[in-house]
Amino acid sequence: MIKCERMKTLYDVQEFLKKHGYINLFSNRLDAIFFMAQELKTLYDAGLIPDQNDYFTADLILRREHRLESEKKTYDEKNYRD
C-alpha cells in the first residue's frame, strides 16, 4: 500500500484510493478531485484508513491540486476573453 511518506502527487492519491476500491472515471479534473476528496473522507470516517497521516497527506494533496486546477481554469478563462 502507498504510505504517506511516498504520497506526493495526485496520481499517488489515485493509486491509494484504488487500493480501497475507488476508480476515477471523471473526465473533468476538478470533478475528479472533488469526488476523490469525498471518497477519502468517507473511507476515513468509516475507519478504513487507519493511519491518520495517510488521510491528512492525501487530503492536502487533493486541496493543492484543486487550488492549482482552479487557478489554471481562471487564468485560461481570463486569457480567452482578452
- pLDDT attached to residue 67: 95
pLDDT band at 73 (very low <50, low <70, confident <90, very high): confident
Whether pTM > 0.85 for this model: the answer is no
State pLDDT tens for residues 19-54. 999 999 999 999 999 999 999 999 999 999 999 999
CA 34 to chain centre: 7
Task: Kindly tell me the burial class for residue 10, based on how many C-beta atoms sit within 10 Å of its own C-beta (0-12, 13-18, 19 or more).
Answer: buried
- pLDDT attached to residue 6: 82
Over range 62-82, report the average pLDDT: 80
- Per DSSP, the three-state class of 1 is coil
Superfamily for 10-81?
Answer: YqgQ-like (1.10.287.760)
